Amino acid sequence: MTELKGALIGCGFFAVNQMHAWKDVDGAQIIAICDRDPERLKIVGDQFGIERRYSDAAALFADGGFDFVDIATTVQSHRALVEMAAAHKIPAICQKPFAKTLSDAKAMVRACADAGIPLMVHENFRWQTPIQAVKTVLQSGAIGEPFWGRFSFRSGYDVFSGQPYLAEGERFIIEDLGIHTLDIARFILGDVKTLTARTKRVNPKIKGEDVATIMLDHQNGATSIVDVSYATKLGTEPFPETLIEIDGTLGTIRLSQGYRLEVNSAEGTTVSNASPKLLSWASRPWHNIQESVLAIQQHWADRLTAGGETSTSGADNLKTFALVEAAYDSAAHGRTVDIEAMLR
């Protein structure tokens, strides 16, 4: 099999995980990197032995010689870089949050569709082992038709030391973390008709909201709650676990802290361990996220080689991104938002 060649733009905090994962992906490797910060370019270039280094994305694309680009910068540059990829007809992966606004995100999807190139959003949380395990149980039919769910991420973990920009934006937890939880809710219970949200800022040292409670009406009739907090101090810190409760017509699923998966069905109660693997380059407690980075990047390489839309394509991610915008709108104006209307 010919190995796909990739270029990575943005050599910051999270890109190190992506670079490690690319080393483990079958059928793809990174051959060039780009960062406008010379220090980050050197650190990542030296760590992963990459000779081709660029401080300017336009120069990287002009030189070419790669089959895809992995955009690992923060949101401000996503639209310009995705459109640059489309202009050069280079398939692109773009980190979350996909864009600054839904209208930017729609333009990015359109640009890639017009150029005929695949676009995937690096929305990795649905690729976590425990989340996949919940989906597998639901698909088995063991709990019947789901009618209620809760997707919960409550933590007191200091995310600001690794990602200082998270303390500075007007928007915080929904845009950065809730975006993953909302995507998991869609992945498990399907697309959403309407959304209602409430937010709070508890930590006085940050600008944006650090607590959000969101109610979703899914198209299949199920109702779910997505609740996220970085102001929750617990005895045993659960970061970065998403806890899940699903009630179905024939039983229930509970994914609880410590990756404990309990299924109650007509067959009785089963308890299993849905822990992620600790990859050789991973470290606790991030190993759950790190394993999902490898899974999503392997999925990209497989789809790029064999063809077919990725699970978190740009088009798919519009439906998650709309929930983010709707949550801010709902919390600001105290109203329920029609998601289908936003996507028309």
Residue 51-90 contact track with ligand NAD, rule CB under 6 A, x = bound: ------x--------------xxxx-x-------------
Site membership for ligand NAD, residue 311 (CB under 6 A): no
* Residue ranges with strand state E in the chain: 4-9, 28-34, 52-54, 68-71, 92-95, 119-122, 146-154, 192-200, 211-218, 223-229, 243-248, 252-256, 260-265, 268-273, 337-338
How many whole angstroms separate alpha carbon 192 and alpha carbon 224?
10
Report which DSSP code applies to 75.
Answer: G
Least separation in angstroms between residue 281's CB and ligand NAD is 15
Site membership for ligand NAD, residue 208 (CB under 6 A): no
Tell me how far apart the terminal alpha carbons of the chain are, to the nearest angstrom. Answer: 41
Residues 271-290 that bind ligand NAD (CB under 6 A): 289
Site membership for ligand NAD, residue 118 (CB under 6 A): no
Residues 175-194 that bind ligand 89V (CB under 6 A): 176-177, 180
How many whole angstroms separate alpha carbon 166 and alpha carbon 88?
32
Residues 125-184 that bind ligand NAD (CB under 6 A): 163, 165, 176
How many whole angstroms separate alpha carbon 123 and alpha carbon 279?
19
Tokens of 59: 């120069």
Least separation in angstroms between residue 145's CB and ligand NAD is 31
Tokens of 31: 């051959």
How many whole angstroms separate alpha carbon 290 and alpha carbon 240?
11
By C-beta, is 163 or 203 nearer to ligand 89V? 163
Residue among 4, 35, 86, 229 that touches ligand NAD (CB under 6 A): 35
Residues 237-256 that bind ligand NAD (CB under 6 A): none
Q: Which does 240 bind (CB under 5 to 8 A by kind): ligand NAD, ligand 89V, none?
A: ligand 89V
Burial of 143 (0-12, 13-18, 19+ CB in 10 A): buried
Site membership for ligand NAD, residue 13 (CB under 6 A): yes
Site membership for ligand NAD, residue 37 (CB under 6 A): yes
Least separation in angstroms between residue 249's CB and ligand 89V is 33
3-state secondary structure of 242: coil
Q: By CB under 6 A, which span of 28-36, 105-113, 217-225, 266-274 interacts with ligand NAD?
A: 28-36
Least separation in angstroms between residue 220's CB and ligand NAD is 27
Site membership for ligand 89V, residue 159 (CB under 6 A): yes
How many whole angstroms separate alpha carbon 155 and alpha carbon 127?
21
Spatial strand order in the sheet of 211-218: 268-273, 260-265, 252-256, 243-248, 146-154, 223-229, 211-218, 192-200, 337-338
| Contact set with ligand 89V (CB under 6 A) | 159, 163, 176-177, 180, 240
| Contact set with ligand NAD (CB under 6 A) | 9-15, 34-37, 40, 57, 72-75, 77, 95-96, 122, 124, 163, 165, 176, 289
